[in-house]
Amino acid sequence: MNKKKPVTIRPFLQTKYSYEKLRICNHCKSFTVLWEDQCASCGKDALMPIHTKAKIKAKRSMRNELLAALLFTLVGVWFGRDPMQMTLCAIVGILLILLLWNVQRRMLPYVIPQEMESLIEDEEARIIEGIKHNRQTAISHLQNNEVMTYEMLREISTLVHNDRIRLQQVVLLQTFILRKDMDLVIEPLLLKDFDTDLAAYIGEISKVQRDLIKNQTIRYILTYEAQILEMEHGRDIMTGVAGAAVRMKKYVDSYPEFIRRYARYLPKDRFMRLYQLIRQHPEQSWGHLAEEVSRIHSDKYTQG
């Protein structure tokens, strides 16, 4: 029955900005978000982040301005009528070149984003084409290497935000045996609508990496609670999430009624965590949760 495979997923390199994943080939100008060393279009070893490309462009333009200023200075010196005029022209020219160089140096951090903006605007079609090509590459590995496909889709999804790519990742993740040491995520994969694979994935995550269960995930399973409960292991999924939620007081504060509904099914360690949390804060208003927890405690854990 269990067709899940043990796999090793390479860690995901998180960047502060999504654009940091995008690279341009300096030779053929095609774009990629994947990690290949050589450009998939021309085969050249010329891929660079768009920030680097913009910096090179900005510096080249600044260098050309300095060269133009130098040329004016040299022409002025060349046509000087006497040494006095030539010296004056050389001194003024050098001072102006230094002034321009200083302004350029100070303004470089502001020029680079402008260059990046114009690069993105000018190369819009190539960027979209590059990402389409990346998706085709990812799908082409589906038959022989599902892990590779998942890893590629994960990279692409830093820029492509839609339910289709999220669902493709969830479906692939559901074919893997998930472990504590894997670099997994939930919130970027949450769909707009209900999906059984996603619900099952959340249930598994609540067991192996409960730190990933946060507000958005709790809200998702609460929105589709009725559909989840219709699933074969629906109650286990809800209980798993409730068990993960009790790790932090803020979630118990925010969702006391949800936790109350599943408190009876919590494993002993999760229940005792909830019990201790409530006991440590007697002043807190928990609704019916405190009564229910106290009742379960006396029913299940105080006998013998």
Partner 1 sequence: MVTYVCLGVLILFVSLNSLSYISNRKKSPSFEEIDEQLISIVNGEAKRHE
User: Is residue 80 at the binding interface for partner 1, with CB under 8 A as the rule?
Assistant: yes
Report the distance separating Cα 136 and Cα 125, nearest Å: 17
User: Is residue 127 at the binding interface for partner 1, with CB under 8 A as the rule?
Assistant: yes
User: Is residue 160 at the binding interface for partner 1, with CB under 8 A as the rule?
Assistant: yes
Provide the minimum distance between the beta carbon of 262 and partner 1 in the complex, in angstroms, as a whole number: 36
Provide the minimum distance between the beta carbon of 72 and partner 1 in the complex, in angstroms, as a whole number: 4
Long-range contacts of 282-291 (CB under 8 A, 24+ apart): 284/253, 286/252, 286/256, 287/256, 287/257, 287/260, 288/256, 288/257, 288/260, 289/252, 289/256, 289/257, 289/259, 289/260, 289/263
User: Is residue 56 at the binding interface for partner 1, with CB under 8 A as the rule?
Assistant: no
Structure tokens that stand for 199 in this block: 């619900």
Residues 6+ apart with CB under 8 A from 23: 31, 32, 33, 47, 48, 49, 50
User: Is residue 161 at the binding interface for partner 1, with CB under 8 A as the rule?
Assistant: yes
Pick from 1, 37, 110, 192 the residue near partner 1 by CB under 8 A: 110
Total H helices, total E strands in the chain: 13, 3
Minimum CB distance to partner 1 smaller for 12 or for 101: 101
Report the distance separating Cα 295 and Cα 147, nearest Å: 46
**How many residues form the binding site for partner 1 (CB under 8 A)?**
45
User: Is residue 96 at the binding interface for partner 1, with CB under 8 A as the rule?
Assistant: yes
Report the distance separating Cα 202 and Cα 205, nearest Å: 5
Provide the minimum distance between the beta carbon of 221 and partner 1 in the complex, in angstroms, as a whole number: 26
Binding span for partner 1 by CB under 8 A among 125-133, 192-200, 278-286, 295-303 = 125-133
Provide the minimum distance between the beta carbon of 5 and partner 1 in the complex, in angstroms, as a whole number: 30
Report the distance separating Cα 1 and Cα 240, nearest Å: 22
User: Is residue 167 at the binding interface for partner 1, with CB under 8 A as the rule?
Assistant: no
Minimum CB distance to partner 1 smaller for 28 or for 77: 77
Structure tokens that stand for 251 in this block: 């979630």
Binding positions for partner 1, rule: CB under 8 A:
16-19, 22, 65, 68-69, 72-73, 75-77, 79-81, 85-86, 89, 92-93, 96-97, 99-100, 103-104, 107, 110-111, 113-114, 116-117, 120-121, 124, 127-128, 131, 159-162, 164
